[in-house]
Amino acid sequence: MQLFQSWRDSIKFFAPANIKLFGLLVVNTTVRTLSVWLRFFWPLFLISIVGDVFPVATFKIGPVQMSLGSLIGIFAKFLLIMTLFLSVRPSVRKKTYSYFLHYKLYALFIGIFFFAKVFVFQIVSGLGELGADLFVLSLFSPFYAVGMTLFMLFYLDSRGSFIDLFLSGWRTAKMIFFGLPFFLIVVSVPSAIFYVVFYSFGIGLFPFVSLVRFLPAGKIMLFVWSLVKHLFILLSVPVVAVNANFYTKRLHDQFKLYFRA
């Protein structure tokens, strides 16, 4: 009974009486997040773009081959992910640099899993560092944004231990299951557009990029492609805001379901 009641409640977000208020909350969260995120961390975008455009000093560790520039760009994108969710997260603390530095241990634990997945995807995909870059960018897609947002918010609301990583994963799966109708509606159309447009365009472009990237004219191509990627990262903020507002409301209504004593 609790499951079906939860599903009915998740659909009520789209009721005429609720959707306007929910939409205004999403807009407010988006504006507030961007104002904090860009005010403190706009240099990370520049570092990430420079890393994309100048893939210099290639190194190899076992089956992993990557340039120092690309590694710096991916590290900057990881910090963008961390700071995005810290910016969108509701907090009674004033969001200054000290607020973000408070979560450095959280970033360390998440970073271990993040870079492990980056290197594994690079090897499995066979696309090299371009495949690693594609994996990082896919984390901002509407489909992955659901799990990423819920997981990050659950973890940032925890004590930040290594065990809490796994507990946050379990709570994320639970919230997706109990809010499945909401997520199916929110994710289906944006995900379809993303995968058709981005993957068709991106995978078709990657072989060309890999051929021209070391030519002088190739730098322009890499710069344009990097700008497109970072524009896409910015456009992911409203999607994250939708999931963050759902998380906040459900956690308020169903706290004991996710944090049992």
Count the Cβ atoms, other than its own, within 10 Å of residue 189: 10
Q: What is residue 12's DSSP assignment?
A: G
Query: Between residues 45 and 206, which one has the greater pLDDT?
Result: 45
pTM to 2 decimal places: 0.85
Confidence of residue 261 (pLDDT cuts 50, 70, 90): very low
Which of the residue ranges 131-135, 203-207, 225-229 would you say has the lowest mean pLDDT? 203-207
On the question of pLDDT at 131 being above 50, the answer is yes
- What does the alpha-carbon distance between residue 20 and residue 34 come to, in Å, rounded to a whole number? 21
pLDDT in tens, 61-110: 666 677 788 888 889 999 999 999 999 998 888 999 999 999 999 999 99
Per the rule left: phi > 0, alpha: psi between -120 and 50, beta: everything else, 126 is left
Kindly indicate the confidence band of residue 210, based on its pLDDT and cuts at 50, 70 and 90: low
Identify any residues that bridge with 65 across adjacent strands, giving them in sequence order.
60
Percent of the chain scoring above 70 in pLDDT: 81
**Are 37 and 30 within 8 A, CB to CB?**
no
In whole numbers, what is the pLDDT of the chain averaged over residues?
82
Q: Do residues 41 and 95 lie in contact, with contact meaning Cβ atoms separated by under 8 Å?
A: no
Residue range 111-120: average pLDDT? 85
